[in-house]
Each structure stands twice: as structure tokens, then as C-alpha cells.
Amino acid sequence: MEKETKLSAETVKALLNEDINREDFQFVLQQLLDAWRPILEEELKLSESAERLVAVAEKQPHSCEDEQLLADRLFAPLATADVALRTLTPQAREALGPIDQWQWCLRKILCCLRFGWLLSRSRTFPVSVYYLYRYWLCIRRLFQNDPTGRQPTPEERADFRKLTAGFAEVFRPWLVQEAKAMDHSMELADGAVSGQVDCHSGGDAAEALFEKFLTVDNARLLMGAEIFEKLSKDPRFWLCRCWCICAFRFGWCLGRSRSLIDLVRCLVAYFRCLRRCFQPLVCELTDPIGCVAEEVNTDLKALVVAVKGTATGGGFLRYVLEWSRDGIAWHASDFHYPPIPPGGGTQGNSPVAGGLLAYFDTTARDEGAYTIRLTVYGVQGTTCVRTITFSLFKQDVRILGFDGAFTLDTTAYDPAAMFVETVPALCTRPSGIHEISFGECLSIWGSAFVGGCEGRKIKRYLIDYKPGFETDPTTGGWINIWKVEYNTVWQYRDMNMRKDTSVLTASWVTDCVVPVPFPPYCLMNVPEARLSPSCWQTHVSTCGLSGLVTLRLVVEDTGGTLYYDTQKVWIDNKPICAMIRIDAVPRCADIRVSAFATPPDCAVPWNLPLSGIAWDEYIDPALPLTRPNDNFDFYWVKVSKQGGTEVQIPVSWSMGTPCFFGTNRVGDPGTSCTPCDPANPLPAAVFGTLAQFDLRAIDPLCSASVGYPVPADLLLPRGECCVYVFKLRVQDRTYTPGGPHWREALWPVRICNDLKPA
């Protein structure tokens, strides 16, 4: 936390010698001491007797009016013409003119002094609003339009409600920052031990809020629209506004003083503040300059660059920031003015001296050179303009997709983000959003870019992997799978920059750099000049690389700085097993319909059991057997006659409705990481029931009873025999360049419809 600088006695002396008349300062200080002395003497006298102190306390219960009266006693001497003139420089007195022309300003300064002092004593926000109300009454009383002793008019009530809302908007960011400070208790503890945090820390932050509060709109609400319109045409009105801000800060400072030495420091700051009010417009830009990296601002939810400098001076009205890429077209968009939050706005309404002018929102801006222009406007139409140029350094290092899948359940910056898909409802399986698994040769998409500053650009990028889920990219154990080096001028062409959503698994290939529209169509070919999309082959063995892994993208710039992104992903290269058979007969044997049509009644199913294995191995049996570790999708069974139409048959029935897909595994091949052989199943293989084929489907007389449409070329007249082929297909939901993993198996038989003709 930044430590506030306090003025030492030597500094006070130096300031008096340099730009404050010593006699004037001592005169004002003496008036202040003369006002405070009786109060201090009364308190000292009360301290002589505890009995008397208790008696006085009992007779004088605390009253809000006591505070108001005390404020008057303290500050009334400072609001006299003689004292007020002593606080000003000769140039300021000349600018203001005869005092009878700005007597209203002098009375206003007393209200401002009182408000600053009272607000420093506030313990809660409701109490602060009460003090604001008394300040509002004080200002209105100057112009004989205060509602004291009567009910406020609807217009007056609306003015104060709006004023209070503006007051809350100014103080809310400060209170939010104070609350956020509690989230950094460890840092604060270390700061207290090291001396970086002490009794002065952050003490000036609240004082700066006065400048943010006394905007043009709030000034109109304070004194009423009619009075404001009349006075605001007078240049002295704006000088008085600045004077009032100084009085706010002076009153606040005195309210927090603990000694007469503190009082002196407050008065020095008051004199210095008043001198700024009567200076010409001052504008200066100090930041950004050189190569500047954008930063994340959590309050604004944006990538930003801080614009710092000075926009102040006598008659200050407002300031505006603009940006340009060419010095010709200027844009006033993309700036967030204080207070932060909420940011936004179209201009700065409060003077800034060597501080934050705004945040430049670079979220949607490209890298490279920018010029910022500051224009400060004065009440008399004067302006002050300054510019500053910097280079915006951007980094975009993200893994965004695999094989055309780009949907993440959270942001790509979340190490735990998952690539997800909507698994559709199928038969009894409900729809759901689940993580995806990938396999075979993976195309990895994303961005691997750093640049925007001269001499600071990408040098190389690498892609590594590590088994399991890893959130820290700086740990050991990573295995490199891809590397792209940038060396030549051809490689640094914009077409080779991996921006936005580019293929990261790319390799250097020859490129034609001087094409012509006639033979030989290319006058110059350069090797390793263009990045061509490729993929990372993960299927390198029987099971390949299967399991949960974390990919790491590493980008190194020419200065040696490393940038990282990680992304967890499930890889599945395990085999699928598909086996089908009819236990009743061997392969290619005859099946007689009469053996299953018992009785040969069209109202009763003639079921032929189809056995087999529909199996997809779990990716990692040691982890929870849920998606995507269990990424089995479905199986189906089809039947065709002599190469004719394939008819998908029901796998199950639910309340009279057929389901043509099996969504659960059937059987077990008894193998692991070994493709099964349908012609030679292992002794350990377990077969289950895939479906029941209703032989009524092939009988011309009974096919209409099966509950699903049957094409004519599947029918087998009674008294005839023909070859039928049963086909099983099993597939998972793994994303590969060729679609999901799948396997098929066939079981041919000869069916004879030996039923008697009707």
C-alpha cells in the first residue's frame, strides 16, 4: 500500500519561504488559534474537576446542534474579509476584484469549511447524509431559498434526493476499496511489520473525494437551478468552486488533527491548494509511455492501461481524453474516468494533480503505437492540450479448442475449464451437458501471440502435456509434443502470427512469396516460410495415449519472458468391441421360422434372441466412471435380406414404444487395450442379449403386427429361404478427425419361412 507523504516542519518552513507570504500565513494562523484557544481553555478548565465535568455532562446531553455551533466558533473567523484576503496571493485578489462583488463566495466558504470538518467526524453513512443536509441548507440560506421552518417543495426535495444519490456514488467506490483491503490482510500485516503501513496510510484518499463530489451537476443541486444559472456566468463562480474544495479539504484535515502541529500542516496545505485555484490551466501527460502492457482491472472487467497526469488550474471546468493510431482520426471512446468503479463517462469533471486521469480500455484494441491526447477546458473558453505516445503490448496465450470443439463451460483462462457438448436424449437416456473426450490426431486451436512493441515479439511457442490435472504451469514433468520457432523475416509475417483462433499444431512449409498470374506462377519460393495446419498424433500404440491430461502452451518473447496457458483434456484411444451372434444356430446356418413361431399367431411375437458384445472401454478405470471417462454412446442392430434395405430393429420397448438404440454396454470382451476379434472371442468373453428380432417382420402375413415399418424387400414368402445379414454397430462420443470411434460386426444366416401358407 502506498504510503502518504506528510509535511515535516522543515518542509513547512521551506514552503513559507518559497510561495507563501510569511506574514499572511502567521496572521491567518493566529486568527485560527484565537478561535480555538477559548474552546481549548474551556476544555482544560473542565479537566480540573471530575465532579464538575460530570455535572456539566448531565446538564448538557449531546446535541447535533452543539456540533453546528462548535463549527461556527471554529471557522467563522476564517470567513471574514480580512482573513480571506490574507489567504490569497495578490494575483488572486486582482482576479476576484472588489470584495463586495464576491461576498456571496465568502459566505459559501464558511459552509464548505464547516462541512469538511463535520464530515471528518462522521461515524456512519447516514450521519454523513445528515451533515450533507446541513451543508445543503447552509448553501441555500446564502441565497434566501432554504426550506428552514417550512416543508421543502417537491423541487427542493428532488434536488436533495439527487444530491444524496450523487454523494453515495462518490463515496461507494472508496468504501468498496476499504472493504477490499480486508481481502489483503496478509499483505497489510507484512506492511505493518516492515513499516510500509503506518498511521498515514491512505489518509489522503478520502480527502480527494471532495473534488469528485463538487461537480457542475451537484453544484446546481446545492444552490438551485435559478441561482446556479445566474452565478455560473460569473468567472468568479468557478474560482469559488475551487476555493470551496480547498475549504472542504482544510476542514476535513482539521477534523482529523491531533495536535497544533497538525493544525499548521493543514493550514499549509490549504494555502497551497488555494494557489492552484488561481493558476492558469495546467495539463500534463506522464503515463503511459514507452512499451506498456495492458492489465486486468477486475472492477471494470476489462484490459486497461492507466493514463496519468495533471488536469487542473484556475477556472478548471473539465477534461477529455482521446486516442489515435495515426494522429489524424481521434476517438473519445474507450476511456473510464474516475471514480473507479463504476468508470465510464465521457469526461473528467474533477481536477487531477499528478494522478489517474482515466483508464484506457484496450480490450478490443489491437497492439501497436497509440497517441493519447488530453484537453483541459476552462470556464472562460480556454483550453490546454497535451499528447503522449506509447506502444501497447498485448499477449494472447490461450488454448481454445480441439478438433472443431470450442465450447467451454467457463472462460478459457480457468485451468479447470472443460470442453463440453450437449448429449441428446436417446430412448430412456436423458439429455445433458457433459465434458468431451478426444482421440487420434488432435488439431489444437488457440492463440500464441505477444507483440506490439519494437524489439519485443514472439520468439517461439511450445505445447507440452502432463498426465493428470495440473494447474501450475511452472512445475516439472511436462513432455513436449510441439515446438514452433520464429527466426526469419518470412516467418514473422502477420499470416504466421497465431492470433485469435488459429491452429497451434502447425508446421513450417515452403511458401511462394512472389506470386505472378502467369507461368511459372511463382518467382520466389522460400522454405519454412508459412505455417501449415497439422495435428498431434495421440494414437501411438494399442491404446495410444488415453486418460486425463493437461496441455500447456508456453510462449517465449524475444526478451526471455514466458507466458503460459493450461487446459485439461480427456484423450481416448481405447478400442471398441462389437460382436454379434445367434446362439440358436452357427454362422451361415439355417433358421426355420416355425421353431420360433410358437404358436404361429400374428398376435404373438416370434422372438429370435440376438447375442453379442457392445463394449467401449472406460478411459481410466481408476477414476469415477462418469462422462467423459464413460463415453459410451449407443449401439444398434440392423438386418437386411440378400443385400437389400437395412432395417434397424428395436433394442427395447417401453410402454408399447420401440427404442432402436441401446444406450448401455452389453457383455464384456474380457480384454483390456486389445482389439477384440469377433471370429475368435476369448474364453473370458461374456455375451449378453443385444435385442430380440421379431421374425414376424419377414412374414408377409404378420409383418404389420411388429409395430414399426418393414420394407417389402425384407419380406420372405412362406415356403422360401434366403440369406439375411445381421449387423451390429457400436460407437462412443469421442471427437476424432473422422468422427467418433465405432466398430461393426456381421452375422449372416439363412432363414427359411417354413410356415404353412394361409
pLDDT in tens, 698-717: 999 999 999 999 999 999 99
Q: Do residue 92 and residue 209 come from a single domain?
A: yes
Q: Which of 180-184, 548-552, 619-623, 689-693 is least confident?
A: 180-184
Q: What is the pLDDT of residue 361?
A: 96
Mean pLDDT on 125-149: 87
pLDDT surpasses 90 at 276: no
Q: Do residue 434 and residue 556 come from a single domain?
A: yes
Asked, for residue 757, whether it belongs to a domain, the answer is no
CB atoms within 10 A of CB 203: 14
Cell digits of residue 272: 497551497
Mean residue pLDDT across the chain: 89
Q: Do residue 53 and residue 77 come from a single domain?
A: yes
Asked, for residue 475, whether it belongs to a domain, the answer is yes
Percent of the chain's residues with pLDDT above 70: 96
Q: What is the pLDDT of residue 430?
A: 95
pLDDT surpasses 90 at 306: yes
Q: Do residue 535 and residue 413 come from a single domain?
A: yes
Q: Do residue 611 and residue 544 come from a single domain?
A: no
Mean pLDDT on 471-493: 96
Q: Which helix (H) or strand (E) holds 238?
A: helix 235-255
Select from 523, 542, 571 the last residue of a domain.
571
pLDDT tens-digit readout, 32-63: 899 888 888 888 888 888 888 888 888 877 77
Contact 119, 128 (CB under 8 A): yes
Q: What is the pLDDT of residue 20?
A: 65
Q: Which of 16-25, 183-192, 308-317, 573-582 is least confident?
A: 16-25
Q: What is the pLDDT of residue 67?
A: 83
- Angle of helix 103-120 relative to helix 125-142, nearest 10 degrees, comes to 170
pLDDT surpasses 90 at 745: yes
Q: What is the pLDDT of residue 1?
A: 33
Q: What is the pLDDT of residue 18?
A: 55
pLDDT surpasses 90 at 722: yes
Q: What is the pLDDT of residue 739?
A: 92
Asked, for residue 350, whether it belongs to a domain, the answer is yes
Q: Do residue 599 and residue 521 come from a single domain?
A: no
DSSP code for 426:
B
Confidence of residue 201 (pLDDT cuts 50, 70, 90): low
pLDDT surpasses 90 at 80: no
Q: Do residue 508 and residue 446 come from a single domain?
A: yes
Which residues on neighbouring strands pair with residue 571, listed in sequence order?
A: 438, 547
pLDDT tens-digit readout, 215-233: 778 888 888 888 888 887 7
pTM of the model: 0.68
Select from 546, 571, 596 the last residue of a domain.
571
Contact 630, 604 (CB under 8 A): no
Q: What is the pLDDT of residue 4?
A: 37
Q: What is the pLDDT of residue 515?
A: 95
For the chain, helix, strand, coil in percent to 5 are 30, 30, 35
pLDDT surpasses 80 at 6: no
Domain ranges, residue 709: 576-752
d(Cα 747, Cα 755) in Å, to the nearest integer?
Answer: 23
Q: What is the pLDDT of residue 495?
A: 96
The domain tally of the chain equals 4
Confidence of residue 5 (pLDDT cuts 50, 70, 90): very low
Select from 276, 292, 313 the last residue of a domain.
276
Asked, for residue 336, whether it belongs to a domain, the answer is yes
pLDDT tens-digit readout, 517-552: 999 999 999 999 999 999 999 988 777 789 999 999
Asked, for residue 349, whether it belongs to a domain, the answer is yes
Q: Do residue 344 and residue 419 come from a single domain?
A: no
Q: From start to end of 313-439, where are the E strands?
A: 316-324, 335-336, 352-361, 368-378, 383-402, 420-423, 432-435, 437-438
The CATH number linked to 328 is 2.60.40.10
30 Cβ contact partners less than 8 Å away, ≥ 6 residues apart: none
Mean pLDDT on 605-616: 97
Q: Do residue 720 and residue 641 come from a single domain?
A: yes
Q: Do residue 230 and residue 358 come from a single domain?
A: no
Contact 572, 554 (CB under 8 A): no
Mean pLDDT on 66-85: 86
Asked, for residue 289, whether it belongs to a domain, the answer is yes
Q: Do residue 613 and residue 694 come from a single domain?
A: yes
Q: What is the sign of the dihedral through the CA atoms of 485, 491, 496 and 497? A: positive
Q: What is the pLDDT of residue 3?
A: 38
Q: Do residue 556 and residue 604 come from a single domain?
A: no
Asked, for residue 210, whether it belongs to a domain, the answer is yes
Q: Which amino acid is at 758?
A: A
Asked, for residue 165, whether it belongs to a domain, the answer is no
Cα distance from N-terminal residue to C-terminal residue, the chain = 98
